């Protein structure tokens, strides 16, 4: 009898006894029981129990595990349950989990009401992280999640900024911002009165009212460019109403509910107002409200944008001059136009590229240049020169292929009127190079000429998407090694922008950029093969002393160093690699402690880069390391180094010594010695016949750098220098070149 769903009439246990969470759902009787139904579901939306016919009145007990649940109450007619009620009770604890009525809210749309409850540990609340009222402690959703109040424009500079918004809905209005003020003098709203805003085609754009019990409300409006019709209607007390629209093209417009109940207004320069007489010189075919600006003929040609004279722009720096006159012209009101004081003549063109330059020359009036788009909206006007004279207008904001209008206007008719010339030129865009690669990094890339010597090369690595720019002022060619990020073996999408430096009306230089119509793919080749200079090969040099710099070539652009591989020809060592982390193309055996004196090595070299790219190994070149010995035999064989006893164990000397410069003339020689300890060093020089031509003994304490005093000028040829200290010997080959 301890089960919460004990049935005293049962004589056999069917296993349904519930001891923890017995939940009873009770529905009272109501006026229309046939409309009542409900469904019990878990938090996954799975139905556990439901009644879909005759649910009122009813009482049912279900046994549930701990978790989140919802009872969905339904009304088939949509007007709630009238006087019907519901009660959800946890029988084990007698706690009421939910109770109440199912009201008719919203009116005749009350088809469903959800009641959430929780069994066991946890907390009810909004557990959706994207909701405005998200509760991080909530484990069960209670249906309270709000997805509207925190969503709106979060930009404080926008006219429709919503301070309470935390999630931006991309609705921010930065232009065409209007405010609508709704006023009721009594303070009980507009009494069923409403306002409407319709566009030029009478489509409803916006409607609303001032609700009860308000006396004032400010609404932010964000409308596209155009003309609009505002009207107020339907109020039971129109004498209480007042309204104002702020921010229109003509400023603030106001009215009430009795006398001024409607108005036209424009935003962004819409053609609401103008001359509506088709026979007038100033006829505006787009205006639908006559503003009294009509001027009767006779009319001159090209007096407004819609009758403009077509012209073709020349490719800069070529000229395309067209003559015109303002005599007999009238003043045209153009959308958003700033300068409306004098006469104007209009020209129509199609933009080949985004860039163009226009120059008006005149000595008869104070010229203005105005640019208008295909919908007759003014883009900009130029009036930099004060008094009689022309103007120059440069732009790189055109849309290629679009139609535009250029107006030549008179700033002040009182000064005078007369003839003018207009020169219209478009700024050319460059195209892809004819050579798409593969390029060597050390090579030069040349852009096709586009009427300017200035270009911006944009390289986008097709593998990494890394973008690098290189601007060239004064040349159509660029050394590729100067472009950051250029890599061997890579391919790039190349876009070349043409850059024009043109004067404005005041002679001030303006920079205009014309992008290409499309990019192209260029490829970079592999770096050149690097090898030891043949002058240092076994065949040409013989044994190379440790302190002699060995050159290798060619130069590899953008390399940050080189790997030098040594392979002992006798096979007594495994190949080893020395890294020279410098762009200098020299090394010496003194830097390579693994090199064995007297050994022959096949030396290969490859470049190292700052990016992941393995340059190719160059061809091997035999290079011999000079040996050390306690005695020397100078022979007539010019390539032989002093012989080394096979039984002698060679060691690295405790000093380094060299004579420089090498090659040198016959008299100006210097001796450089570095030693780990104080020592006496004997320096001996032998000519190609083995004859001793110089000898000297110097005291060394760490380092000396001293001239060598040679008694007479040495003849041109190859000399062998022997350095000896404490039984340690090294040699150097010195070249004398007398000129």
Same domain for 64 and 181, yes or no, is no
Tens digits of per-residue pLDDT, 208-242? 999 888 999 998 888 888 888 999 999 889 999 99
Tokens of 139: 């484990």
Distance of alpha carbon 166 from alpha carbon 146, whole angstroms: 12
pLDDT band at 341 (very low <50, low <70, confident <90, very high): low
Nearest Cα to 555, choosing from 528, 581, 536?
Answer: 528
Burial of 334 (0-12, 13-18, 19+ CB in 10 A): buried
Does the pLDDT value for residue 408 go beyond 90?
Answer: yes
Q: Which residue range forms the structural domain that includes residue 124?
A: 22-141
Same domain for 451 and 501, yes or no, is yes
Buried b (16+ CB within 10 A) or exposed e, 704-739: eeeebeeeeebeeeebbbbbbbeebbbbbbbebeee
Tell me, yes or no, whether 468 lies in a domain: yes
pLDDT on residue 340: 57
Tens digits of per-residue pLDDT, 426-467? 999 998 898 998 999 989 998 888 888 899 999 999 999 999
CATH of the domain at 384: 2.60.120.380
pLDDT on residue 631: 29
Tell me, yes or no, whether 630 lies in a domain: no
Distance of alpha carbon 67 from alpha carbon 87, whole angstroms: 19
The residues facing 364 across adjacent strands are: none
Tell me, yes or no, whether 711 lies in a domain: yes
* Last residue within a domain, chosen from 141, 159, 188: 141
pLDDT on residue 739: 65
| Highest mean pLDDT of the ranges 145-154, 287-296, 643-652 | 145-154
CATH of the domain at 44: 2.60.60
DSSP designation for 35? G
pLDDT on residue 161: 85
Same domain for 250 and 320, yes or no, is no
Residue 45: partners with Cβ closer than 8 Å, 6 or more residues away:
none
Same domain for 422 and 304, yes or no, is yes
Tokens of 445: 């890339």
φ, ψ of residue 464 in degrees (nearest 5): -110, -10
Distance of alpha carbon 72 from alpha carbon 117, whole angstroms: 11
Same domain for 199 and 306, yes or no, is no
Pairing of strands 124-125, 586-587: unpaired
Among 320-329, 565-574, 730-739, the minimum mean pLDDT is found in 730-739
Same domain for 519 and 538, yes or no, is no
Same domain for 416 and 378, yes or no, is yes
Same domain for 330 and 396, yes or no, is yes
Distance of alpha carbon 67 from alpha carbon 124, whole angstroms: 11
Chain mean position to CA 612: 25
Strand ranges (E), 202-249: 204-208, 216-222, 226-233, 241-248
Tell me, yes or no, whether 641 lies in a domain: no
Residue 605: partners with Cβ closer than 8 Å, 6 or more residues away:
530, 531, 532, 552, 562, 563, 564, 565, 617, 618
pLDDT band at 637 (very low <50, low <70, confident <90, very high): very low
pLDDT on residue 292: 79
Distance of alpha carbon 580 from alpha carbon 560, whole angstroms: 9
pLDDT band at 702 (very low <50, low <70, confident <90, very high): confident
Does the pLDDT value for residue 642 go beyond 70?
Answer: no
φ, ψ of residue 34 in degrees (nearest 5): -70, -15
Pairing of strands 692-700, 679-686: antiparallel
Pick 514 or 340 by higher pLDDT.
Answer: 514
Q: What percent of the chain has pLDDT over 90?
A: 47
Distance of alpha carbon 612 from alpha carbon 628, whole angstroms: 41
Count of structural domains, the chain: 6
Distance of alpha carbon 493 from alpha carbon 396, whole angstroms: 23
Tell me, yes or no, whether 288 lies in a domain: no
Phi-psi region of 233 (alpha: psi -120 to 50; beta: other; left: phi over 0): beta
* Last residue within a domain, chosen from 125, 141, 157: 141
Tell me, yes or no, whether 316 lies in a domain: yes
pLDDT on residue 359: 97
Among 403-407, 430-434, 468-472, 735-739, the minimum mean pLDDT is found in 735-739
Pairing of strands 167-168, 151-152: parallel
DSSP designation for 619? P
CATH of the domain at 204: 2.60.40
Same domain for 539 and 587, yes or no, is yes
pLDDT on residue 504: 95
pLDDT band at 335 (very low <50, low <70, confident <90, very high): low
Residue 110: partners with Cβ closer than 8 Å, 6 or more residues away:
75, 78, 79, 80, 102, 103, 104
Same domain for 124 and 26, yes or no, is yes
Tell me, yes or no, whether 631 lies in a domain: no
Does the pLDDT value for residue 110 go beyond 90?
Answer: no
Does the pLDDT value for residue 643 go beyond 60?
Answer: no
Tens digits of per-residue pLDDT, 384-393? 998 899 999 9
- Look up the pTM and report it: 0.53
Does the pLDDT value for residue 83 go beyond 90?
Answer: no
Same domain for 559 and 501, yes or no, is no
Tell me, yes or no, whether 33 lies in a domain: yes
pLDDT band at 646 (very low <50, low <70, confident <90, very high): very low
Same domain for 308 and 240, yes or no, is no
Q: Give the length of the chain.
A: 739
**Residue keyed to tokens 């029981």:** 33
Tokens of 348: 């129509």
Tens digits of per-residue pLDDT, 667-693? 788 888 888 788 888 888 887 666 788
Distance of alpha carbon 287 from alpha carbon 274, whole angstroms: 5
* Last residue within a domain, chosen from 607, 625, 643: 625
Nearest Cα to 317, choosing from 427, 221, 471, 222?
Answer: 427
Nearest Cα to 516, choosing from 434, 441, 432?
Answer: 432
Any idea of the CA torsion for 168, 171, 173, 178, to the nearest 10 degrees? Answer: -120
Q: Are 99 and 91 in contact (CB under 8 A)?
A: no
pLDDT band at 708 (very low <50, low <70, confident <90, very high): confident
Whole-number Cα distances in Å, 62 to 26, 50, 71, 98, 590: 11, 11, 12, 15, 92
């Amino acid at each position: 009898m301890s089960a919460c769903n004990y049935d005293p009439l049962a004589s056999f246990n069917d296993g349904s006894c519930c001891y923890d969470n017995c939940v009873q759902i009770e529905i009272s009787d109501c006026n229309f029981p046939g409309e009542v139904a409900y469904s019990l579901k878990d938090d996954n939306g799975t139905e556990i129990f439901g009644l879909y016919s005759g649910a009122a009145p009813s009482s049912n007990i279900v046994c549930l595990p701990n978790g989140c649940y919802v009872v969905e109450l339904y009304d088939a007619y949509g007007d709630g349950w009238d006087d019907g009620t519901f009660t959800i009770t946890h029988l084990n604890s007698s706690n009421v989990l939910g109770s109440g009525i199912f009201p008719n809210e919203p009116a005749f749309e009350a088809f469903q009401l959800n009641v959430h409850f929780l069994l066991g540990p946890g907390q009810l609340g909004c557990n959706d992280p994207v909701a405005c009222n998200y509760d991080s402690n909530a484990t069960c959703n209670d249906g309270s999640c709000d997805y509207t109040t925190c969503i709106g424009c979060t930009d404080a500079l926008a006219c429709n900024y919503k301070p309470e918004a935390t999630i931006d809905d991309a609705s921010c209005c930065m232009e065409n911002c209007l405010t609508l003020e709704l006023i009721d003098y009594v303070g009980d709203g507009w009494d069923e009165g409403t306002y409407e805003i319709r566009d030029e085609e009478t489509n409803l754009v916006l409607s609303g009212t001032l609700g009860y019990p308000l006396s004032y409300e400010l609404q932010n409006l964000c409308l596209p460019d155009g003309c609009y019709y505002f009207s107020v209607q339907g109020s039971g007390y129109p004498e209480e109403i007042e309204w104002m629209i702020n921010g229109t093209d003509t400023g603030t417009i106001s009215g009430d509910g009795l006398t001024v109940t409607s108005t036209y207004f424009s935003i962004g320069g819409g053609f609401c107002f103008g001359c509506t007489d088709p026979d007038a010189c100033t006829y505006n075919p787009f205006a639908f409200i006559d503003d009294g600006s009509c001027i009767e003929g006779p009319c001159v040609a090209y007096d407004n944008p819609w009758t403009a004279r077509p012209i073709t722009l020349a490719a800069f720096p070529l000229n395309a001059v067209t003559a015109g006159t303002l005599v007999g012209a009238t003043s045209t009101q153009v959308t958003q136009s700033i300068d409306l004081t004098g006469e104007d003549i209009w020209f129509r063109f199609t933009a080949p590229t985004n860039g163009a330059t226009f120059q008006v020359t005149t000595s008869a009036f104070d010229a203005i240049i105005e640019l208008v788009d295909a919908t007759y909206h003014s883009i900009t006007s130029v009036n930099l020169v004060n008094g009689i004279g022309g103007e120059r207008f440069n732009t790189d904001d055109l849309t290629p292929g679009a139609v535009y209008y250029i107006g030549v206007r008179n700033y002040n008719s009182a000064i005078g009127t007369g003839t003018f010339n207009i020169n219209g030129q478009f700024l050319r865009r460059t195209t892809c190079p004819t050579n798409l690669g593969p390029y060597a990094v050390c090579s030069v890339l040349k852009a096709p000429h586009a009427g300017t010597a200035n270009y911006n090369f944009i390289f986008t690595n097709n593998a990494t998407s890394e973008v690098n720019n290189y601007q060239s002022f004064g040349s159509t060619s660029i050394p590729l090694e100067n472009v950051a990020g250029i890599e061997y073996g890579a391919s790039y999408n190349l876009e070349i922008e043409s850059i024009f430096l043109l004067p404005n009306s005041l002679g001030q230089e303006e920079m205009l950029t014309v992008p290409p119509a499309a990019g192209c793919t260029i490829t970079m080749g592999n770096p050149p093969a690097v090898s030891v200079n043949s002058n240092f090969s076994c065949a040409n040099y013989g044994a190379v002393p440790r302190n002699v710099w060995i050159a290798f070539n060619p130069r590899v652009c953008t390399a940050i160093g080189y790997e030098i591989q040594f392979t002992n020809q006798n096979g007594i060592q495994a190949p080893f690699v020395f890294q020279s982390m410098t762009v200098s193309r020299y090394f010496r055996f003194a830097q390579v402690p693994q090199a064995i004196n007297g050994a022959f090595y096949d030396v290969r070299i490859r470049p190292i880069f700052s990016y992941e790219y393995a340059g190719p190994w160059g061809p091997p070149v035999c290079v011999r390391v000079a040996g050390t010995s306690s005695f020397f035999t100078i022979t007539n064989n010019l390539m032989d180094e002093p012989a080394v006893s096979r039984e002698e164990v060679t060691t690295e000397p405790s000093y380094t010594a060299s004579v420089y410069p090498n090659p040198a003339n016959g008299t100006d020689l210097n001796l450089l010695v570095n030693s780990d300890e104080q020592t006496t060093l004997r320096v001996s020089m032998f000519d190609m016949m083995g004859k001793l031509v110089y000898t000297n003994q110097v005291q060394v304490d760490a380092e000396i750098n001293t001239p060598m005093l040679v008694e007479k000028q040495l003849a041109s040829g190859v000399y062998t220098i022997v350095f000896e200290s404490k039984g340690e010997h090294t040699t150097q080959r010195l070249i004398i070149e007398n000129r």
